[in-house]
């Protein structure tokens, strides 16, 4: 019998060898009993021994052949239909892959199990436990700290900076600005912004302190531009009083005008504002000169050394602050994550609609993922098994089931001997044909 080639370190190897030795020992014992009974004449009690040992040896040899033929060619002889497992490696691979596909990756089976499993409820129950939330937040803290260590590498930071700058250089700022403004002006939102701005400006001008500042600025400007005229006017009436009066009138006039703009949807100022804004949006999207100008400003900002220094300094401060916090067991960020997880768990426990929505998304994602895995994993299993070395495949299967297969040889030896005794008895007590 050809020996198996199990891995020496594999704990299954020694029990397999013991069972092989036991089965071989029984075969040798049966052969020895057969030789002894024949040598003793094979009559009387020895006839029974001969019948038992002869049938036992035949049964042991037949089962040895059957077991060995699964894994290799018995005695190395090219007997047909032997070494079944190595010869059928391709079929085994395809069958194993199909079995996994049909019994573990069937979309209907997976979805039915997931729907019963209620992943949203179980997730809520799990993360609502303080120990679990603390463990998860701790893992997130460790991962974030490792990510910060990676980003602290000079080469990595330079690569990220170059990547971001390259993307920003190709970014069409004018077109995006037009899209953003178009979104902001959708459904008349820009008029709401105009009303809010006018209202805030009116409140500002209606403040006595604001009017006092406006008066002071007007008087200061007049004295610097027309000093002689101001001196002359001041002889007649205080210039400060005139400034206060003019500031009040100006503020009242502006506030009155703004109220008209806010109350009249078709006010000329509002219409001019609408035309100007819509025209500017269109120019941002289509006017080459304006587009070039906006992108030119963008490039100047990107390339300005002060901007680079500011961004680098800001990143260094943020990085250091995050690292200091995440390095502590009492990390504030980790604590916030933990609190958030606990709140999420409680929310999932209390909100049935939220659980239903999450389960719907999970089932939808699982359906798509199962379809992808069904093909990908099946192909991977089949390809992997087919790529195994035949001897390695045989060794692994024999280590897994070979010990149990030795019982076939042992049972064959014993059962064969008993069958031999039964046949011998039948032949003794069967009447001869006349």
Give, in degrees to the nearest 5, the angle at Cα 168 between 165 and 174: 155
Between residues 316 and 61, the one the model is more confident about: 61
Mean pLDDT of all residues in 115-128: 85
Return the percentage of the chain with pLDDT > 90, whole number. Answer: 3
The top-scoring range by mean pLDDT among 69-83, 101-115, 303-317, 350-364 is 350-364
Between residues 210 and 321, the one the model is more confident about: 321
How do residues 189-241 score in pLDDT, each as one tens digit? 888 888 888 888 888 878 888 878 877 777 777 777 777 776 776 666 676 77
| Inter-residue contact 375 to 98 (CB < 8 Å) | no
- Residue among 14, 23, 17 at smallest CA distance from 3: 17
Which pLDDT belongs to residue 264?
Answer: 86
- Cα separation of 61 and 28, whole Å? 10
Give, in degrees to the nearest 5, the angle at Cα 401 between 400 and 403: 105
Which tokens is 404 given?
A: 């149990």
- Cα separation of 119 and 114, whole Å? 7
The pTM score is 0.46
Return the percentage of the chain with pLDDT > 70, whole number. Answer: 94
SS3 assignment for the chain = CCCCCCCCCCCCHHHHHHHHHHHHHHHHHHHHHHHHHHHCCCCCHHHHHHHHHHHHHHHHHHHHHHHHHHHCCHHHCCCCCCCHHHHCHHHHHHHHHHHHHHHHCCHHHHHHHHHHHCHHHHHHHHHCCHHHHHHHHHHHHHHHHHHHHHHCCHHHHHHHHHHHHHHHHHCCHHHHHHHHHHHHCHHHHHHHHHHHHHHHHHHHHCCHHHHHHHHHHHHHHHHHHCHHHHHHHHHHCCHHHHHHHHHHHHHHHHHHHHHHHHHCCCCHHHHHHHHHHHHHHHHHHHCHHHHHHHHHHHHHHHHCHHHHHHHHHHHHHHHHHHHHHHCCCCCHHHHHHHHHHHHHHHHHHHCHHHHHHHHHHHHHHHHHHHHHHHHHHHHHHHHHHHHCCHHHHHHHHHHHHHHHHHHHHHHHHHHHHHHHHHHHHHHHHCCCCC
What are the residues whose beta carbons fall under 8 Å from the beta carbon of 352, sequence distance 6 or more? Answer: none
| Inter-residue contact 398 to 12 (CB < 8 Å) | no
Which pLDDT belongs to residue 434?
Answer: 55
Which pLDDT belongs to residue 6?
Answer: 46
Which pLDDT belongs to residue 232?
Answer: 72
Number of Cα atoms under 13 Å in the Cβ half of residue 13: 10
Which tokens is 401 given?
A: 């089931």
Which pLDDT belongs to residue 4?
Answer: 45
Which pLDDT belongs to residue 58?
Answer: 92
- Cα separation of 107 and 434, whole Å? 71
How do residues 83-110 score in pLDDT, each as one tens digit? 788 888 888 888 888 888 777 777 777 7
Which tokens is 224 given?
A: 């610097």
How do residues 18-61 score in pLDDT, each as one tens digit? 888 998 899 899 999 989 988 888 787 888 888 899 999 998 88
CB atoms < 10 A from the CB of 387, how many? Answer: 9
What are the residues whose beta carbons fall under 8 Å from the beta carbon of 341, sequence distance 6 or more? Answer: 127, 133, 136, 137
Average pLDDT along the chain: 82
Which tokens is 376 given?
A: 């990908």
């Amino acid at each position: 019998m050809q020996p198996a080639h199990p891995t020496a370190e594999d704990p299954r190897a020694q029990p397999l060898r013991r069972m092989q030795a036991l089965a071989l020992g029984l075969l040798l014992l049966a052969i020895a009993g057969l030789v002894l009974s024949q040598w003793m004449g094979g009559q009387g009690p020895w006839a029974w021994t001969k019948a038992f040992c002869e049938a036992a040896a035949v049964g042991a040899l037949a089962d040895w052949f059957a077991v060995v033929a699964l894994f290799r060619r018995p005695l190395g002889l090219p007997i047909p239909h032997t070494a079944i497992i190595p010869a059928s490696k391709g079929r085994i691979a395809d069958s194993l892959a199909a079995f996994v596909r049909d019994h573990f990756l069937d979309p209907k089976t997976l979805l039915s199990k997931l729907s019963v499993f209620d992943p949203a409820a179980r997730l809520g129950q799990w993360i609502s436990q303080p120990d679990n939330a603390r463990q998860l937040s701790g893992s997130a803290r460790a991962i974030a700290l490792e990510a910060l260590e990676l980003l602290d590498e000079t080469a990595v930071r330079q690569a990220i900076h170059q990547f971001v700058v390259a993307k920003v250089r190709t970014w069409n700022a004018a077109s995006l600005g037009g899209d953003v403004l178009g979104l902001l002006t959708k459904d008349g939102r820009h008029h709401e912004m105009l009303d809010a701005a006018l209202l805030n400006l009116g409140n500002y001008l209606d403040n006595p302190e604001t009017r006092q500042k406006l008066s002071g600025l007007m008087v200061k400007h007049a004295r610097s531009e027309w000093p002689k005229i101001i001196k002359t006017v001041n002889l007649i009436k205080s210039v400060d009083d005139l400034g206060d009066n003019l500031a009040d009138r100006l503020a009242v006039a502006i506030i009155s005008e703004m109220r008209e703009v806010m109350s009249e949807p078709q006010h000329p100022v509002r219409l001019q504002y609408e035309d100007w804004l819509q025209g500017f949006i269109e120019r941002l999207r289509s006017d080459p000169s304006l587009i070039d100008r906006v992108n030119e400003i963008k490039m100047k900002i990107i390339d300005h050394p002060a901007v680079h220094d500011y961004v680098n300094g800001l990143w260094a401060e943020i990085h250091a602050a995050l690292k200091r916090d995440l390095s502590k067991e009492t990390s504030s960020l980790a604590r916030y994550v933990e609190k958030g997880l606990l709140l999420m768990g409680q929310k999932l426990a209390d909100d049935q609609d939220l659980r239903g929505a999450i389960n719907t998304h999970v089932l939808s994602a699982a359906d798509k993922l199962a379809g992808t895995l069904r093909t990908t994993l099946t192909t991977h299993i089949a390809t992997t098994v087919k790529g195994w070395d035949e001897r390695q495949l045989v060794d692994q299967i024999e280590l897994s089931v070979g010990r149990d297969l030795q019982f076939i040889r042992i049972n064959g030896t014993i059962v064969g001997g008993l069958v031999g005794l039964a046949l011998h008895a039948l032949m003794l007590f069967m009447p001869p044909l006349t």
